[in-house]
A and B are shown apart, each in its own frame.
Chain A
Amino acid sequence: MSSETTILVALLLPVLAAVSCLFFGGGLSRPNLRDIATPLIGACTFAAVWRLAGDVLAGGRPELVLFEVLPGVELAFQVEPLGLLYGLVASGLWIVTSIYAVGYMRGHHEQNQTRFFTFFALSIFAALGIAFASNLFTLFLFYEALTLLTFPLVTHHGTDEARRAGRIYLGILLFTSISFLLFAILFTWRLTGTIEFTPGGILGAETSSGMVTVLLLLYAFGAGKAALMPFHRWLPNAMVAPTPVSALLHAVAVVKAGVFAILKIVVYVFGLDLLRGSNASLTLMTIASFTMLMAAVIAIRQDNLKARLAYSTISQLAYIVLGAAMATATGILAGGMQIAMHAAGKITLFFCAGAILVATHKKKVSELDGLGRTMPWTFAAFFLASLSIIGIPPLGGSWAKWYLMVGALETGFAWQAAFLGVLMLSSLLAVFYLMPVVVRGFFAASPSAGPSGSAGGDRKPIAEAPFLCVAPLVLTALLSLALFFVAGDLASLLNF
């Protein structure tokens, strides 16, 4: 199979999954077949993306040009390291999530499961389209498609709350993408006459410094999925969606689409040389640092577990934006790594939140006292993933933090040490918003034990969520451990 066909196959397999969902779930009313088909096709998708990895590692850039949409604007794909990484993360975790989703949706007795799985698969299609886009138009096309395709997932429950959240979701994401991102793309088109992603960038050195700053901010805020403050409100609101959606889409595919777009635009539209040490870079770094700290502080104050994780995501995404804004090779490497590391960690945390919901119907951190003893696997996984998010070795997340700190000291700004401080403070804050969950789970007395019963005295039976929920979260927790040991491969892939 030529690499061209492989790209096409990787893109079309999720569509096939959607069709098979409709066919088995809707037409035949055989939900079991539907729920087996999705992970199988997911595995095939991952395999297809994996096949491209060898090529890319060897320095190849597999391409697929479908057709010309507007004169000079093609619907075209090209696999480069960042896109490959994002594609691997999205398609790989899709397999796990589609297994988890079966356990969750059935365990939680959700309605309209066929619609759910169909749009889920289509969202992955859009995510892969973003990953492999070879120009800004293709990126924008799939970016908007991802917003629209995830809308039915966010509003899945159809309640007033879901509808309101859906409004905010569409409102912010479409507002930012149309008024900032599209404008920036059109402006780039006007300035340079091209919107192809080109190594070294397409904006020439003649672009004035003010223009570069404005454009960079338009792109950074325009990629509203990156949830940079003040355009972050959609993400906590999107948490009304069923947990698998929060896990894969709002911790991995959708939010990473935003930061991935920023990384890619920094590398292939601006070019690192244009940005490094510029005012634009410093401005965006400051905004990212502000978001990072602010969101972490807000996260500490959230009692709803999913909302807390959502703010944690906003904070962690800002790491990637910070890496991109540094515009150094180390910064991009750190940003790319954080995409993978945060994905594995955060999806685990969401899986755990969902498993707790399925098993006990509890949503708040303050209700979790003592649950760790009845759900040991879930809470152990939560603990591991938390360590990865905080950035403690030997978990994957530590590498991303490490390279970010190194990168911060390479930028050459007078205040570069301040960014080091911000990163450290942010990790500290992460301890404060994640560890209480684990501590409460394992060490606090469970409320039902009564005031007299000591914490360790009564041994409650293990009452985990269904196997299909627990197995995936253990898997992803182990993945974030394993990622620590393959960081070298990632580093050689993301060598800019």
Chain B
Amino acid sequence: MIEKILVLEVVLPLLAAPVCVLVRHPRFCRLFSLGVVAACFAIAVALLVEVRGGGVISYQLGGWPPPLGIEYRVSTVNAYLLALVTSMALVVFSFDSRGGPPRVPEQRRHLYYAVFLLCISGLLGITITGDAFNIFVFLEISSLSSYILVSLGGHRRAVMSAFYYLVMGTIGGVFFMLGVGLLYQATGTLNLRDIAARLEPSLDDRGTVLALALLVVGISIKLAVFPLHHWLPNAYSFAPPKVSAFLAATATKVSFYLLAMVLFTIFGAPFVFEELRLQAVLLPLSILAMFLASSAAIFQTDLRRLLAYSSVAQIGYMTLGLSTANATGLAGGLVHLFNHAVMKGGLFLVVACLLYRVGSVHIDALAGIGRRMPLTSAALVIGGLSLIGVPGTVGFVSKWYLVSGVLERGWTAAAVLILLSSLLALVYVGKVVEVLYFRKPAETQPVDHVREAPLGMLAPAWVLAVAAVFFGLTTDWTYGVAREAAELLLAGGI
């Protein structure tokens, strides 16, 4: 039974998109897409419960057995990602943005929902499939639809940002494609497990090393690994606020999964981290990301750009977990996917609330808002504390395991640097909090008319704020699952 509904995870949003196009009624489309996302979430949770503890569910599309046909294969690793993407999608979809992005007129609203659903189905497809070319197809579906979503932001520069994102994303996609092609040449199969079984990576084999290089760089662009992150700050800060929240919480996480899958499942930890020593590149880049991107965040005057740079820094934590290549560190990186999604998603929803009421999230416009919008501001404080990594929030859990993993590797200096970098988060979060609560509003920008955000906006933001505390104190379904996934990945499975 469960393998029958597995395929629905991708098919449902994929089919719901044209339904939206056909029905065209904006209100219907909104509720319908919400329902579809809720169903996807339910399926993802069912899958996660089913595979937890080492189970695997496999489904062959059209009944064709794996080497020929496409196999959908779910284990703890990707069930975790599916649950992450669908839960965040559900929260973001339940956010009532009161009329959608400003650029979309009422009669075209259905297309917006259709594109959003396509983006989700693309992300879920990447995660669920066990076929390399299929991954490429879904990668393009999700990327193309996210370019469109970004371009819908009201600002003129949204279009430019989307174009830049498109150029970078396409380069990444082409690299990925070339890498898959080389792997196909080397092994004669596209099924991931088949590739992994037949591939005997060695440093002398230029083809495989090149394939690895292309795949890693291609995915790193999509993941916004420092210094390939330039598309991200613009894309996040000019996209419609809901889209920023969604992309920040999901898109980079799926890319991270893809990277982990390529490194651990296809090429295997022994080759990548012992022969090739990828950590010699990945670790310095991660640390640079943590420091440089956080420092850049400190100097931003737009809250969205600040959060976007903070995302680049947080991605540094994730890749740092990857480069430890031990169970604790990798689990720390994996659990940070969810933890970061919760806090950054929540913060971008807060941004959406502020944009709706204040009209701007420029740091000067936010002076004195703490008193006018107490609940929104409190949600921002919780998210900010979590970014710093205060105990009792999700950020602390990530940091605990990242530092433990790094110490296990004997990299004491890196452990110190992780902790020091979180102080940079203290600076940029503190800056925003000070403006919200202490700075007097400028004469030219009175805030007396500003009221608390409506419930339909506040509730989803607070769901994530509460989740940031809840999952900071109970980690069985976050760290517990991530640990299982990390052990599975290190053993070369998916």
Contacts and interface: CB of A to CB of B under 8 A. Distances in A.
B301 interface: no
30 contacts: A67-B474, A68-B476, A69-B474, A70-B397, A70-B400, A70-B475, A70-B479, A71-B479, A140-B391, A144-B391, A167-B430, A167-B434, A171-B426, A174-B388, A175-B426, A178-B388, A178-B389, A178-B422, A178-B423, A182-B419, A183-B403, A183-B415, A183-B416, A186-B400, A186-B403, A186-B407, A187-B407, A189-B404, A190-B404, A190-B408
A70 B479 CA distance: 8
Contact of B390 (A137, A144, A163, A171): A144
Q: Which of B389, B390, B401 has the most CB of A within 10 A?
A: B390
Interface of B: 385, 388-392, 397, 399-401, 403-404, 407-408, 415-416, 419-420, 422-423, 426, 430, 434, 438, 473-476, 479-480, 483
A279 interface: no
A75 B415 contact: no
Contacts of A189: 404
Contacts of B392: 141, 144-145
A186 B404 contact: yes
Interface in A47-74: 67-71
B175 to A, nearest CB: 37
Contact of A186 (B385, B415, B473, B475): B415
Contacts of B426: 170-171, 174-175, 178
Contacts of B415: 183, 186
B439 to A, nearest CB: 9
B438 A179 contact: no
Interface in A128-177: 137, 140-141, 144-145, 148, 155, 158, 163, 167, 170-171, 174-175
B206 to A, nearest CB: 40
Given A69-B473, A75-B473, A137 B423 contact: no
Contact of A69 (B404, B438, B475): B475
Contact of A179 (B385, B419, B479, B483): B419
Contacts of B479: 70-71
B306 to A, nearest CB: 18
Closest 4 CB pairs of A and B: A141-B391, A190-B407, A179-B419, A163-B438
Nearest to A140: B391
B423 A175 contact: yes
Interface residues of A, number: 28
A179 B403 CA distance: 12
A68 B475 CA distance: 8
Interface in A294-314: none
Nearest to A152: B437
Contacts of B474: 67, 69
A415 to B, nearest CB: 33
Contacts of B408: 190
Q: Which of A69, A75, A137, A187 has the most CB of B within 10 A?
A: A69
B336 to A, nearest CB: 14
Contact of B423 (A145, A179, A190): A179
A196 to B, nearest CB: 16
Nearest to A67: B474
B464 to A, nearest CB: 20
Nearest to B389: A178
Given A70-B479, A163-B434, A137 B416 contact: no
Contacts of A155: 438
A208 to B, nearest CB: 14
Interface string A438-477: 0000000000000000000000000000000000000000
Given A144-B390, A175-B426, 17 more contacts: A67-B474, A68-B476, A70-B397, A70-B400, A71-B480, A71-B483, A137-B391, A155-B438, A163-B434, A170-B426, A175-B423, A179-B423, A183-B419, A186-B403, A186-B404, A186-B407, A190-B404
A20 B430 CA distance: 29
Contacts of A71: 475, 479-480, 483
Nearest to A138: B391
Contacts of A174: 388, 423, 426
Given A70-B479, A75-B473, A179 B430 contact: no
Contacts of B422: 178
B424 to A, nearest CB: 11
Contacts of A68: 476
A421 to B, nearest CB: 37
A283 to B, nearest CB: 20
A179 B476 CA distance: 27
Interface in A305-358: none
A174 B396 CA distance: 13
Nearest to A189: B404
Contacts of B476: 68
A171 B430 CA distance: 9
A141 B404 CA distance: 17
Interface in A355-374: none
A187 B410 CA distance: 11
A67 B392 CA distance: 13
Interface string A101-112: 000000000000
Nearest to B391: A141
A97 to B, nearest CB: 25
A186 B391 CA distance: 13
A190 B483 CA distance: 17
Contacts of A145: 391-392
B391 A179 contact: no
A297 to B, nearest CB: 31
Contacts of B434: 163, 167
A179 B423 CA distance: 8
A230 B159 CA distance: 52
Q: Which of A71, A75, A183, A186 has the most CB of B within 10 A?
A: A186
Contacts of A163: 434, 438
Contacts of A75: 473
Nearest to B406: A186
A140 B434 CA distance: 25
A404 to B, nearest CB: 33
Contacts of B401: 70
A155 B404 CA distance: 35
Contacts of A141: 391-392
Given A186-B400, A190-B408, A148 B438 contact: no
B430 A178 contact: no
A167 to B, nearest CB: 7
A158 B438 contact: yes
A178 B407 contact: no
Nearest to B397: A70
Contacts of A187: 407
A187 B483 CA distance: 20
A144 B396 CA distance: 11
A179 B390 contact: no
Contacts of A182: 399, 403, 419
A466 to B, nearest CB: 30
A338 B385 CA distance: 34
Q: Which of B385, B389, B419 has the most CB of A within 10 A?
A: B419
A310 to B, nearest CB: 23
Contacts of A148: 385, 390
B115 to A, nearest CB: 40
Nearest to B401: A70
Contacts of B420: 179
Contacts of B407: 186-187, 190
Contacts of B400: 70, 186
Nearest to B407: A190
A179 B415 CA distance: 10
A186 B405 CA distance: 10
Nearest to A69: B473
Contacts of A183: 403, 415-416, 419
Q: Which of B389, B400, B404 has the most CB of A within 10 A?
A: B400
A151 to B, nearest CB: 9
Interface in A385-399: none
Nearest to A187: B407
A68 B388 CA distance: 22
